[in-house]
Every structure is written in structure tokens, then in C-alpha cells.
Amino acid sequence: MSAVWCEAAWLPGRGVVDRVRAEVNAAGIVTSVRSGVPAREADLHVEGVAFPAAANAHSHAFHRVLRGRTHAMGVGSFWTWRQQMYQAAGALTPELYEELATAVFAEMVVTGWTSVAEFHYVHHRPDGTPYAGEDGRHAMELALARAAVNARIRLTLLDTCYLAGGIGQPLSAEQARFGDAGPEAWLERLQSLREEVARRFSPDEVTVAAALHSVRAVPAEAFEVIARDLPAELPLHIHLSEQPAENEACVQATGMTPTGLLHRHGLVTPRLSAVHATHLAEADIAILGAGHTTVVMCPTTEADLGDGIGPAAALRDAGARIALGTDQHAVVDPWLEMRALEHGERLGSGQRGWFPPDALHTAVSDAGAAAQGRRPPGLAPGRYCDLMAVDPASLRTVGSRRDQLALTATAQDVGTVVVGGRLAARKGIHATLGDPARLLATALAKLDSEGS
């Protein structure tokens, strides 16, 4: 048994209180919490104000390659950005991906994210054939798992079904490494991966769940097979209605919106996480809400790509749970994602106060953990002792009420990150890997060389 003592901490249902001490078991789970008590000599001391750590509900680790490199094209769109993304994917090998992902995951940890749902579809060699060697057909997936363990981030590896290049279109040459022979082949490979990961890693470190890339990449006839045969206990994620063109193509091909297609096959349930859900009809909002789904908003990515502002408050009011993710990592900062969620509603409505600070913390922590099928982080018995503590007296935060730091703090203010009751990062430096910027610089240089 170990203990963490916080100078101040946000507690569920109580707000920010002073001098909080939590006892933590060997699995990193909180067993007891007391406030208004002194620290003990052996306790891990956490300065500032500690909040439940962030749970990243949507990530593509290799997209980090594109940060700051896609803005010289003038007028562009998601579709022109996508071509550059394919080029980045083409340069990956298991060795390079492990190095890059270690750096990306370390960046997440030092900014406050302590778990991540990695939406992974770079499965095979560039020509679509499996890797050989010790790790075999799961070489890319196991590279990501090792990267997460090295970075001390909890990984939910979303093995993604990607079967088509668009509605009614075959995979292109640059998409070949994403694909499987059909839904049955994907389900078989998914089961094999689950068994291999369970053999090698603790579920507190790495678990495997499922994703369907989108209605563009999974043919309508495959949904019936997947709905019937996908294990019921697995979380399921999908990119949903990210672009109007996706909706139009789906309606033309099936007579239904993407949400309607999922609903027809019984996939709109509490285990579903719909990513983006930016362009929804009122009927879609009602279906997702009635299904008590999680909707994963990625506000900084949606802004970077010009995707639009999704109906977060309407979805919440209909019964959906809102979570947050970093997606393409144009920004890796849970505080800015929280703020952008509220700001999007303000910009769309002309009113303030759609997501108060406690709702923002719930979205970035509890809802993200639920989307991963994990226990939540924070200071209450039964939670993981995963924390992110911010300085309440920085240039950005000084004068803020402590319970409103979600609207003023940024990742620059994160002083201490705790994972499972152990120190993971301090002032932007990873406890075991050092400066993530150095790791990223090395990995990006190697990828640039490989792709040139």
C-alpha cells in the first residue's frame, strides 16, 4: 500500500478541497481518501490543484507527423489533408512506429492524459501482406502496445476494420495496408490479437477493443456480419458523420444516414463510441441519445481540419455521453480540448455556460475512460489513482477560482502527473523517458528520412 498527498484536489461531488491524502493499492487503485490531513513522510507529494487525469478517447498516433506541416496548401479540406496522412502512413515500419508512438504517448502523459483509445488501422506491410518475424501478423499492434507500456499510458488498442476505399470502391494502393479480406477475416485477426495481447500484457496496461473505420470504409453488407459475430463485451468505436459528403454517399447507397445504418444493425448501444458526429440530422441525435452512446468530440482537430462544430449539447441533452480526444494531435492538451468543447457551443449559440467546469472534467476523464471500457481516474475509492495537477498561480491561472481552472489552465500549467499512484511526469518531463520533445525530434527525423 502506498499513498498520494495533494496540496489541493478536486473530489467528485465536493469540488476542490485542501490537503487530500489517498491510499493506493498495488494495482494503482484508490482504496481510501481523506481531506484536511497532513502528509506523511513516505507519501508522494503533489503540489498545486490535482484533478482526475484525462482519458483520451480518440487518437491516431502517427498523425502527429503532420503537425505544423499541412498549412501551406492554401484552400484545402479534410480530403486534401487526407492525402498527406496517407503519405505519413506509408513510411511506417513496426520499429519506427514504436519509436514514434512512444514519443507521442509520452507527450500525452506529460500534458495530463494517462489513458488512450488508439484508433489503429495500419495493420500490415504497405503491400497489404502480413509482417513476418517474432511478432508476425500483429507486429504493428504489438509495437503500439510496447510504446504505451514504455510511456506509462494505459492503452485501449482499437483494432479497426477497414475494408473499402469508399462506398462501392475497392481499397486504393495506399490503403492496402489497412485492409483485411472481409469482415470474417477481420474478426478472426481481432480475436487472435486479443489473445496475443492478453498473453503479453496486464489489462491495466493494454487491452484490445474494436473499431469500424467509417461507413466509407466498411461496406453496408459487412455490418450484418460484424453485428452478429463481434463479442458483446468489446467497446466499439466508429468515425461517424465527420463530413457531409460521407452522409450524402451513405444515403444515396443505402437510403439511410450513417447513424441510421448503425441503428438498423443494432449497433447503437451504450458500448458504441461515435467519433466526431459533426453533421447529424435531428433524427440521428435522437437515435444516439436514446442508445446512451458515447460521442467523442475532438474539438481542436475538428477546428484544424475545418470540419465544423458538432451538436455536443444537443447530444448530451438527448442522452448521449460526451467524451474528448486528440485525434490527429494538432494539439495535445486536455485543457484546451475542454475549453474548445464549451467554446464551440458558445460560438454556435451566442450563449455561455453549456458545459460548466465539472461537466468538462467529467467529459475529459470519466467519459473517456468509459469509452475505453476502463475504470475512471481520480480520487475516490475504486478509481485509478491517475491525476493531473496544475499550478493555480501561473501567468494563465493566477486569480482563477480553483474550481474554474478548466477555463484558464493549459498543459503548460501541468506540474505533476500521477499514474496508478506513482509519479509519471513533473513539469513537462517524463519520469522515465525524459523530454518528449527530444524523443519526437528523433522519431520525426527518422520518418522524414524514410519517406524521402
- Active site positions, annotated: 276, 327
- For residue 218, give every residue at least 6 positions away whose Cβ sits within 8 Å of its Cβ, in sequence order, or none: 161, 162, 163, 164, 183, 212, 226
Strands (E) across 154-278 are located at 154-161, 206-212, 236-240, 272-276
Residue 272 has φ and ψ, to the nearest 5°, of: -80, 135
303-322 in b/e form (b: 16+ CB < 10 A) is bbbebbbbbbbbbbebebbb
CA distance 244 to 279: 6
CA distance 20 to 37: 6
DSSP symbol at 131: P
CA distance 430 to 246: 40
CA distance 55 to 129: 33
Radius of gyration in angstroms for the set of CA atoms belonging to the chain, rounded to a whole number: 21
Give the neighbor-by-neighbor strand order of the sheet with 15-24: 30-35, 15-24, 2-11, 44-52, 387-390, 414-419, 422-426, 429-430
CA distance 451 to 445: 10
- For residue 433, give every residue at least 6 positions away whose Cβ sits within 8 Å of its Cβ, in sequence order, or none: 102, 106, 150, 151, 439
Strands (E) across 145-235 are located at 154-161, 206-212
